[in-house]
A and B are shown apart, each in its own frame.
Chain A
Amino acid sequence: MPAKLKIKPNLSVDFAGIKLKNPVLTASGTFGYGEEYAEFVDLNRLGGVIVKGVSLKAIQGNPPPRIWETPSGMLNAIGLENPGVDVFIERKLPYLRQFDTAVIVNVFGYSLEEYVGVVERLDGVLGVSGLEVNISCPNVKAGGIMFGTNVKAAYELLSAVRRATRLPIIAKLSPNVTDITEFACAARDAGCDGISLINTLLGMAIDVRCRRPRLANCTGGLSGPAIRPVAVRMVWQTARSVQLPIIGMGGIMTGEDAIEFILAGASAVAVGTANFIDPRATLNVIEGIETFLREQGLDDIKSLIGAVMA
């Protein structure tokens, strides 16, 4: 049994040049633009906020029902509803700027030109620490999914995005592929600074009595604890094949869940669906990580990155 640590363990990490006071971020699409959690969470305590995806123009999203609960998880097909990048910069970002936390903006488009457009718009904007480029949303029919599941298209898109900004670029990869490492390599070759994985797994549920899909969109993205083993496996495979730092996510509910991703090779983690169930989930995860390090007698979280003995 290792000796319990008396001093406060160091949780800070440097992620692709972005300084994080701790490795806990919010997964895009589960934390709005931060303000939605204002009454529950002191954002100063978070490593960073990855905001809900923004596109060049506002998007209304899919018709309801958009949500369906599944065993230890949920399906969603929100349809990337967002107010557009200009409204984000003018009305959402000023709120986030007040806090001492990294702000990573998740971006997406329906075409290469739209991706480049939104990225250019955010380049040099005060208060943006980095960009997470979503090439993997399963809920938009055009664009997104194609970039996320075709290695060549992913490479070309990420290369174009790379040329359009000086900000750190984190490619958010789709798990809906046979070999995740091909896409991680494409992201590296395109000049990305980091990788986020995983996005939701494409799923479907059917009302057997009505013989209709549970979601108006028919299919949706599966998230929550149900997908965690898939996510941990993909982080592990990617960490072994590419040198880029990884933000691991997929069903993290506790500090020990986060440690699992870090041992698999993630330098940071993102809490997603857990925020819906407990709006203070991010803080519980941070505290859980700290408790774990103390119990293990470890003084720095970095000593656990990729430390799984496999």
Chain B
Amino acid sequence: MPAGRGYHRIVLKAPEAAAVAVPGQFVMLRVTEDMDPLLARPLGISSLPSKSSIEILYRVAGRGTALLTRAEAGQTLSLLGPLGKGFPQPDKTVTPVLVIGGSGFPPLHFLSLRTNNRAQVFIGARNKENLPPISILKSFRDHALNVSIATEDGSSGRKGLSTDILKAFLKKREQNTRFVLYACGPPAMLAAVSRIAEDHSITCYVTTEERMACGFGACMGCSVPMKGGGYKRVCKEGPVFNSREIEWGSVKSSEFGVRSEEFGVRSEE
């Protein structure tokens, strides 16, 4: 059902998946029994509303997600998951810093629920309409130490980028405070956050996206280039990577904010 700001919310009864899912993981969801659209859609888990269910928040990004909005209560969908490696759980001595761009909030929303109200959350979007739904912003505020918002047009929070408010925060940081960064958003944002993490010698985990056919390591479609050559699979070795592992290469952190990219399900438009 609509969740506000163009997002849709679907809660799936999937006890086996819910029992083991951790933040950062995703599921492959088949939205039709027909041959068209053929492939299942990778969707990040945004929370576990109960012991036996998983919540998905998504935007219509193509034919698959459009079909998903027509799913009815009680309908059975084919689901595979949870898949991929999630975020390493932050230990109690560090402050988790969550950096969110555009629609990249679901995995980090799930993570924020497991950080014992210690997380610092930075959310950036092009404008107010592109922020996460109000219910999610409230949930972030309920479960984080602090939530800061930036929009490129200044229609909500500070005018600027998520990385601007992150940099300002890190500049003011107290000595002896240790941080771990967790970032999800468009590639240019991830590259920019990765650069900031390196400048400040902070460990940084990013969730990556790439088009995939299977979700479980067989099709070799969802490869991301690694520093030092070769590729790793988003679905198997990822989607969470230490930002230092990734060869950002053609992804220019300087382009972040210059050419606003919308973040969405990579199996679709």
Contact = CB atoms under 8 A, between A and B. Distances in A.
Q: Do A and B bind each other?
A: yes
B229 interface: yes
Interface string B182-213: 00000000000000000000000000001111
Given A36-B218, A81-B223, A276-B213, A61 B30 contact: no
Contacts, number: 90
Contacts of A66: 211, 220-223
Size class of the contact patch on chain B:
20 to 34
Q: Which one of B36, B40, B78, B221 has the highest number of Cβ atoms from chain A below 10 Å of its Cβ? A: B221
B36 A277 contact: no
A30 B219 contact: yes
Nearest to B234: A64
Contacts of A37: 218
A61 B229 CA distance: 11
Contacts of B40: 277
A71 B34 CA distance: 11
Contacts of B229: 60
A65 B210 contact: yes
A4 B80 CA distance: 35
B220 A72 contact: no
A31 B30 contact: no
A310 to B, nearest CB: 25
A120 to B, nearest CB: 26
Contacts of A68: 211
B218 A30 contact: yes
A76 B39 contact: no
A32 B217 contact: yes
A73 B38 contact: yes
A179 interface: no
10 contacts: A30-B219, A32-B217, A66-B223, A67-B211, A73-B38, A275-B214, A276-B214, A276-B218, A277-B30, A279-B218
